[in-house]
Amino acid sequence: MEELCFIAACSGERTKRKDKAKGQSGRISGRISGRKSKRKSGGEAELVSGPFPVRGGSFKIWEGGPMDAYLLLENGAEFHGCFIGPEKELISEIVFNTSMSGYLELVTDPSYTGQAVVLSYPLIGNYGVCREDMESERPLLSALLVRELAELESNWRSEGNLRDFLIRYDIPGISGLDTRAVIKQLREHGTMNGLISGRHYEGEEREALLRRIRDYRVRDAVRRAGRKEISEYPPSGDGGMWTAERPRFRVALFDFGAKQNMIRSLQKRGCHVTLYPPATRAESILRFAPDGILLSNGPGDPAEERELIGEVRRLYESEIPIFAICLGHQLMALAVGAKTYRLKYGHRGGNQPVKDIESGRVYISSQNHGYAVDAKSMNPEIAAELFRNVNDGSNEGFRYLRKRILSVQFHPEACPGPGDSAFLFDRFMDMMEAGHER
């Protein structure tokens, strides 16, 4: 049966073609986003220009057009598009994000470690990429799946295009997907695993592959997402009033996959930030005697991080003010005996409404998580629910009683998304100030 499909932004213009979906690979032309390439031995290519050069990487250039790509979900649903980066075959957890902009921040968010991300907005890449917007040193997601990739970027800040960026970091992507249909599958059936491949599988081989896809689990995500060594970040705000030798506060950031804007949000408030890798023991952080501790965001199932839960418990037992965000929020809840559960398809986007239970005010927040804390499992003598998701009623934050601890499920640092809740960093400053006065 012939399938009529549109391959969007795989070459320089929108093309229409017939495809028999028999796994016959297309061909990638010798030009990538208008940048010339030259043939190297073994079919490898070297980009002549661009800020993200590829030197003998795995991306191969062929004459004739784009290579076919397939997304096979664990329930058997299959979608067709074309590769926009390295041609790879891999199994990954498939999630979606509804943000309309900020794709570079999304691609470089460490919380996506081990996940392939489907973007719901139909046109991606139109304003290029800029290193200043990256939320980590390199992307850690498995793949990027889009409806249409813009071939020409237009932005005075742009340092290159998204296609070259994916090639530079060896991240496969698929363009031309019916992303609405993919997201509908994920919404109706929940988050699923999937296979990204240049082949269309059939028969017994397909059935065996589906069993492998269903058995896939993301492993050691936090260890992969966090930094590998201790790092120092001096203050940057208030016109130089605060310095590395004389900061407003000294903050220990326990890094489970921290976004860069989390660090910047502390720096511009006069904080000297010492970042600790996820393998750090609580005793090492407490020996530093910080004014406050920030537990960062990160990837994976929080209940599987038993060692981290134990370290967070020891931090909880100290008298140091703590601000916990996303995964840090979940680990803190688990450390005091609460439980977490997996959301059907997660909260990933820049328009999630959360309600402040004490004031009744609603804030629009940026979110990226697939698990939530069961508020009913929290001991009411330990913490009071502070924020709640307006859409599904799931927990979005706690205020810990008799402790200077605040935790939220959403991202007050945004990037991308609204900065409505950035005031929570100021509340953290107040907590540390109160600690100085005691």
| Cβ atoms of residues 158 and 132 within 8 Å | no
- How many whole angstroms separate alpha carbon 431 and alpha carbon 403? 10
Secondary structure string (H, E, C) spanning the chain: CCEEEEECCCCCCCEEEEECCCCCCCCCCCEECCEEEEECHHHEEEECCCCCCCEEEEEECCCCCCCEEEEEECCCCEEEEEECCCCCCEEEEEEEECCCCCHHHHHCCHHHCCEEEEECCCEECCCCECHHHCCCCCCCCCEEECCEECCCCCCCCCCECHHHHHHHCCCCEEECCCHHHHHHHHHHHCCEEEEEECCCCCHHHHHHHHHHHHHCCCCCHHHHHCCCCCEEECCCCHHHCCCCCCCCEEEEEECCCCCHHHHHHHHCCCEEEEEECCCCCHHHHHHCCCCEEEECCCCCCHHHCHHHHHHHHHHHCCCCCEEEECHHHHHHHHHCCCCEEEEEEEEEEEEEEEEECCCCCEEEEEEEEEEEECHHHCCCCCEEEEEEECCCCCEEEEEECCCCEEEECCECCCCCCCCCCCHHHHHHHHHHHHHHHC
State the CB neighbour count (10 A cutoff) for residue 360: 7
Annotated active-site residue 411? The verdict is: yes
Annotated active-site residue 413? The verdict is: yes
Annotated active-site residue 63? The verdict is: no
Q: Which of 80, 272, 369, 411 is catalytic?
A: 411
Q: Which of 326, 369, 396, 415 is catalytic?
A: 326
Q: Which of 135, 148, 151, 413 is catalytic?
A: 413
Degrees, nearest 5: CA angle 326-380-307? 45
Q: What positions carry a catalytic annotation? A: 326, 411, 413
